[in-house]
Amino acid sequence: MLMGDTVGDASGGTEAAHIPVMLDRIVELLSPALTRPGAVFVDGTLGLGGHAEAMLTAHPELRLVGIDRDTTALQRSRRRLAPFADRVDFAHAEYDDIPRVLDDLGITDVQAILLDLGVSSPQLDEAERGFAYSYEASLDMRMDRTQDLTAADVVNTYSAAELTRILRDYGEERFAARIAQTIVRERAKQRIDSTRLLADLVREAIPAATRRTGGNPAKRTFQALRIEVNAELTILERTLPAAIGRLAIGGRIAVLSYHSLEDRLTKRALTALATDTTPPDLPVPLPEAQPELRLLTRGSEQPSDQENERNPRAASARLRAAERVRAPRN
């Protein structure tokens, strides 16, 4: 759900200005699975409902299950999708809860699933959410504001070693140890509660020559903290097999990622199930080792140059999709 939700116009408000990433391509990829009456589409990261609205419009008999961890996003998508209310079920949940949500609704399997990962533009653009280093705000970064852990908690309570690991693994920050030590020294003097203070500390920790190139030096630190606070990679790792497991034969899944860590997990999960696992020394393929999935994209697809011009936040998007072609392996 990152970078696809652009907000802010004086007349239409948040919902009106929402620009879903790679919308036409996602509709194209998922639609072949949604032609029968009563088909079920799960949007596991509903956000402002732009992708969902397009799918409901394209398929007048489609049933949508819309899931989001952000209660504010759910409120806004309810307004946007009000014309389709009789065909929509909303759920406040993490996207790894797709099986439970479907069980609660009495749905066994589904025809299509979309995961649009990361942080949405409303979350970035609303200063009080604390996601952006460009605003002065409290260090929050919770997608689900009903959870307890905030970015301030991480910054002020994690050890230097833990902070270093998070910044290195989730932010791919080469100066992770220097930044972690700077944070630890500063918090001994005062609690670090502000996005501006944290951004200034990161800038101070990074060598001057590096600060002059590559954009805001705090970008990778803020990404890493956001991923930690929201357990994004842990949840995604659980979600992919759980979601794929609920696809009907002929059902399709599409995943939009916005950084290499997400895309790597997605690639690994889809490729593993799209691979014949017959031992190479056997003369014929084993029926039980045949692929469950057929990949629908060659590698990861990216937005067009025209889309990136219209919506610069789409530029980092990577799309992968697959179709279930046989029942799960035992």
Q: Are 201 and 185 in contact (CB under 8 A)?
A: no
Distance from the Cα of residue 155 to its chain's centroid: 23
**Residue 49, annotated as binding a ligand:** yes
- Sheet with 247-257, side-by-side order of all strands: 88-92, 63-68, 40-43, 110-116, 247-257, 318-324, 293-295
**Residue 133, annotated as binding a ligand:** no
> Of 107, 129, 320, 91, which Cα lies nearest the Cα of 230?
129
Paired residues of 295 in beta bridges = 322
For residue 45, give every residue at least 6 positions away whose Cβ sits within 8 Å of its Cβ, in sequence order, or none.
Answer: 1, 67, 68, 95, 114, 115, 116, 117
Neighbour-count burial of 214, counting CB atoms closer than 10 A to its CB (0-12 exposed, 13-18 middle, 19+ buried): exposed
Span between the terminal Cα atoms of the chain, in Å? 32
DSSP secondary structure letters along 156-182:
HHS-HHHHHHHHHHHH--TTHHHHHHH
> Of 78, 76, 32, which Cα lies nearest the Cα of 55?
32
In the chain, where do the E strands start and end?
40-43, 63-68, 88-92, 110-116, 247-257, 293-295, 318-324
**Residue 116, annotated as binding a ligand:** yes
Token pair belonging to 40: 């079920």
**Residue 95, annotated as binding a ligand:** yes
DSSP secondary structure letters along 95-134:
GGGHHHHHHHTT---EEEEEEE-S--HHHHHSGGG---TT
Q: Which residues are annotated as a binding site for S-adenosyl-L-methionine?
A: 49-51, 68, 95, 116, 123
Residue list, annotated binding site: 49-51, 68, 95, 116, 123
